[in-house]
Amino acid sequence: MRLRDTRRRLTLAFGGAFAVLLLLGAAALYVVLERGYRHAYDHALLETRQLAHDLFRFDRGEYPTAAATIAHIMSEMVTSDRSMVAFDSTGQRIATARRAPMAPDLSHVAPLGVGASPSSMRAAGHEVRLMRVSLPEGFELVVGVSDVEYLARRHTLRVALGIGVPILLLLGALLGARLAEPVLQVQRAFLADAAHELRTPIAIVLSEADAARQGDDPARARAALDAVAGEAQRMGTMVADLLLLAREDAETTTLRVPLFLDDVAQRAIERARALPEAHGRPIVLGAWDEAPALGDPVLLERAILALLHNALVHASDGPVTLECGTDGRDVWLRVSDTGPGIAPADRERVFERGTRLDTGRPGHGLGLAIVRTIAERMGGRVAVSDHGTGASLMLTLPSRPIVASPAPSPELAR
């Protein structure tokens, strides 16, 4: 139920965010396009105003009166989409331009109700865009363009957004559900791993705590507390490993910096020698060579430490051998022990989470799973190899070419 609730919340969160962004984008698109449409029609009116001023100035000297000049201008300015009416200083109509079929009817328009900037109003039952043009000597023109095409474009835009936005919202909801599924899979894997691995230590802690609470023997109580402390430490390590696996499952990118695998291995050896299982046990270096690679040094050190810990646990009292080198194309690191080895049928299963071939030995079955996860995130691999008598596990990463530093010139050398 909780996973379903989580999925529902993730889907709703993604869908809600997507819906808000989509609606904001649609609103912005509508405003931009609508203003663009409007600007195109208003620009035609402004052009007409400028043209009327220019013609009046150029033609005024050729005609005896301003009214005659305006009548000539009206005969010259004939367009397919604009209408013009001229008025004298008393508001009387003195001339009307020949109206094309697509131009609006301005027979009932008076200059008094028309502004000097483009504005919309109804004329003869239709929406028109009007503007008043003031000319010298008190004459005025009223210029109009039909709003029918603009309104049709705006209606088409609204219909397109009204249909397209719900479809995109539906697709966004479906995409949100699909994007939420990998997150839920990581959560399910983490919860399953945690439940499986923590069940036994929790039972031991409860049992020892109950025994210490009921008994009167101080030595028994101390032993119970020691057991509780040991199991708590084991649970802490286990939780850290589970969190590492969960984090790597969720990550999409991995740090890759130039490094030398042999240097990283040396640091892992120092940490491994501090493990309780390494007390009095030799960690032997075999074949050893420079191994340049690209990767996350912290995660690689964690992977190598897990390989060493696995070998120390399963090698009884024998030595653990660590080798490192390169074959030109790849760099490799091999950890070998003298234990019972790994049967061919189990060589893939040992890298699965929670797998423990020998339940009598310490461990929680996550170490090798962590190694494989880290190796694959860095473009490498880890596998059981046929080397020696015990178990031998090899970590392989792509090699990094080393660019040699240029030799100093003779002039600089001198």
- Amino acid in the structure at residue 11: T
Least confident stretch, 149-153, 155-159, 196-200, 315-319: 196-200
**Inter-residue contact 132 to 111 (CB < 8 Å):** yes
Q: Per residue in 4-18, pLDDT tens?
A: 555 566 666 666 776
The pLDDT confidence band at residue 184, using thresholds 50, 70 and 90, is: low
pLDDT score at 264: 92
Contact partners, residue 399, CB within 8 Å, separation at least 6? 291, 292, 293, 326, 328, 329, 330, 331
Does residue 349 surpass a pLDDT of 50? Answer: yes
Most confident of 299-308, 346-355, 365-374, 379-388: 299-308
Structural domain spans, the chain: 2-154, 181-250, 257-398
Left (φ > 0), alpha (ψ -120 to 50) or beta: where does 125 sit?
Answer: left
Top-tier CATH class for 257-398: alpha beta
For the stretch 228-280, pLDDT in tens is: 776 676 666 667 666 766 666 656 566 788 899 999 999 999 888 887 777 77
The fraction of the chain above a pLDDT of 90, given in percent, is 5
**Kind of pairing, strands 381-384 and 320-326?**
unpaired
Regarding pTM above 0.85, the answer is: no
Instruction: Give residue 410's region: left, alpha or beta (phi > 0; psi -120 to 50).
Output: alpha
* 241 touches 366 (CB < 8 A): yes
Distance from chain centroid for Cα 298: 25
Q: What is the CATH number of domain 181-250?
A: 1.10.287
What is the model's pLDDT at position 335? 92
Q: Residue 324: pLDDT band by 50, 70, 90 thresholds?
A: very high
Is the pLDDT assigned to residue 1 strictly greater than 50? no
pLDDT, position 395: 92
For domain 2-154, the CATH architecture is: 2-Layer Sandwich (3.30)
Alpha helices in 60-85 (DSSP H): 66-76
At 340 the pLDDT is 79
Q: Rounded to 5, what percent of the chain is helix, strand, coil?
A: 55, 15, 25
| pLDDT tens column, 74-85 | 887 777 778 888
Model pLDDT for residues 196-232, shown as the tens digit of each residue: 556 656 766 777 777 767 766 777 777 777 777 766 7
Question: 45 with 131: CB under 8 angstroms?
Answer: yes
